[in-house]
Structures are given as C-alpha cells and as structure tokens.
Amino acid sequence: MLDEPAVRKVDRSGAVEHLKSLPEQVVRGLRLGGELGPLAANRRVIVVGMGGSGIAGAILAAWLAVERGTPVMPVHDSRLPAWVGEGDLVVAVSYSGNTLETLAATREAMRRGCELVGISSGGTLRDLCLGRGLPFVPVPPGMMPRSALGYVFGGLAGLFDANEIAPEVRTAVEALREWGAKLTPKVPDAKNPAKKLAAKVKGRTPIIYGTPTYAPVARRWQTEFNENAKVLAWSSVVPEADHNELVGWAEDPAARRFAPILLRDPAESDFDRAMLDATRELIRPKVKVEEVRAEGPTLLARMLTTLQLGDWTSFYLAILRRVDPTPVAVIGKLKARLAKRS
C-alpha cells in the first residue's frame, strides 16, 4: 500500500527528499549559524517566527529549559512582550523572509534597540538585515518552510556557545540519521513505524500529547498532520490536559473519532510516568490510544527523532489519503489577503 511506486505517484512535489535531508540540514544550519559566533551566549534570547519556521525556536527553548540555564523564549506573534528591550537578542526566523507577523516583531525589536539576527532564505527579512549590516543566517531557497526546519533549527543552535551546544546537536544528528533510515518508503510497511502509525490513525483526528518539554514536538506533529496530510489535528500538554480534557475523553460519545497519541520519553520523571500511564488507562476503555516511545542517547536526540517520526507519519497519511503532501494553498491565500492590508 505504501511502497515506493505508490508513494512516488502521490508525492508529486517530492517532499520525500526533504524529509530524508533533515539530518544534513541540521549539520549545514549549525555551520552557517556558527559562522556568526556565539551571539546568543549569556543573554536573554527571543525567537520570533511563525509556523514551520517558528517551531524551531520553540523546540530549542524547550530543550534548553531542561538542559541549560539559557533563557530562550519563542514568540509566535507580531508583538513582543513588553519586557523585551536593549541587551536582549531577538532572532527573527522566517523561511520566506516575508511573513508579516515576523517582520512586524523584527521592526519592533529594532525600535527597542535589541540585538537582532535574521534567519531566512531571502525576502524582506534578508534585506532588512543585510541593509543594516546585521548578522544574518542564509538558508537555501526553494523549499516549503516546514521542510527546511533542519536548516532553521541548526542555524539557531549555531548562535549558541559552540563548545556546549554543537556536540549535543551532532549527537542528535547521528540519531536522526540512524532512525531516519528506518522510516523511508524503501522500508516495508510491517517494519516501518511511520507507515504503521499512519495506517492506525487514518480516519480519526489525531490529538497529540506531550509533557511541556515535548509540547513543541507534539505541536510539530499536529502541524505536519495539518499541512502534509491536510487533516484537522490538535496537540495538547499534560499534565494540564488531565485536569480538563480527560473528562471529554472519558465521557464524550464522539471521543472514538479521535486518535490520542502520547509522546513518551524513557527518562521521564516518576511523576510524569505515573501521570501518563494513568492518562492512557483512563482514556483507553473507550478509545484506542497510540503511544510513541522515544529512543536515543540524549534528550535532544529523542526530541528530534520523535519529531522526525511525526513528519514521516504525516507524510504517509497524506499518501494514504492520496493528497500531495507539499502544497498548502490556503496559507498562501491567507497571506495574500493580509498583504493587501499593509
């Protein structure tokens, strides 16, 4: 069903090659960002960006919040928090370089006298940075923003202390290479976790759960289901969701239409383990629950390989639904409407 010819037939725009390139994108991005030096060391960092670009900042922030003392705040909006000002580093990430929210936040950061770095493949963001002699990480053009996540994530990580962060990122890249090889169309359905999961969730609406550390990874799963497979999907964060959504799972007669997917980590705390096990058991009597168990030598490796599994799962769901994963026409329509206003 999901063999190579079937995949090729539906994946008319060639998303498969971008999925395969994720590890090498991170390597290249890390080098490009690193060339600017450790701009993000020892200060507050705010990463502004939307969608497939902005998620890179959220993932980096969630990881650094656990492993380092570095305060990084992702902002997915045109407004900056009132406390952002001189001495803070604002990193503007927009693959196209033309996203209105990101550009508005970038201009606001300039007005407030923040340090600024841009990451994009071109557009107004590049012109703004290069025109003012500001540091800029150029990522290769010609992709969909969400397919270039590795470049943006690597570029961002490269702005941090190379001695501390880069080795961790390289370890994660090794894991991405190893696990990514198990997810390609060549690997038959029965041995391919992404193909298996896509088949399991087909026909139901995925709702992906993660702890706060995994929340941006869960969000990436959601957005990849939305954009690649063209389905509604949502993500949510535990333990908070256990204090409200759980009631819906237990009592809503429509709950069976949804596919809860729990993202698990082998190093989760005793509390998280007990909480996630209880969540699964309390949902299960009525609804089939999928669990994804991250594997890998470090937290970052596990976060990124879990993300990679979600990317591939959404890709195969697109193939099963016979929709080309790449185009996202309605986002273009929205941007065109908003551009008319400015």
Convert residues 320-339 into a mask of x (bound to ligand F6R by CB under 6 A) and - (unbound): --------x--x--------
> Is residue 334 within a helix (H) or strand (E), and if so which, with residue range?
helix 329-341
Restricting to residues 126-145, which ones interact with ligand F6R according to CB under 6 A?
144-145
Nearer to ligand F6R, 23 or 123 (CB): 123
Residue found by looking up tokens 């996203």 in the block = 99
Q: How far, in Å, CA of 258 to CA of 233, rounded?
A: 9
What b/e sequence results for 155-180 when a residue is b if at least 16 CB atoms lie within 10 Å of its CB, and e otherwise?
bbbbbbebeebbebbeebbebbeebb
Span of 37-45, 94-102, 182-190, 249-257 interacting with ligand F6R by CB under 6 A? 94-102
- Residue from 25, 94, 192, 222 that binds ligand F6R (CB under 6 A)? 94
Whether 286 is catalytic is no
Q: Is 227 a catalytic residue?
A: yes
The answer to whether 195 is a known catalytic residue is no
Residue of 95, 153, 209, 258 interacting with ligand F6R (CB under 6 A) = 95
Residues in region 223-262 near ligand F6R by CB under 6 A: 227
Burial class (CB in 10 A: 0-12, 13-18, 19+), 65: middle
**CA contacts within 13 A on the Cβ side of 92:** 37
Which three-class secondary structure state does DSSP give residue 1?
Answer: coil
Q: Per-residue x/- mask for ligand F6R, residues 53 to 82, rule CB under 6 A?
A: x-----------------------------
Q: Active site residue: 227, 230, 245, 290, which one?
A: 227
Compare residues 113 and 141 and give the one whose CB is closer to ligand F6R.
141
Residues in contact with ligand F6R by CB under 6 A are 50-53, 94-96, 99, 102, 144-146, 227, 328, 331
| Active-site residue list | 227, 243, 335
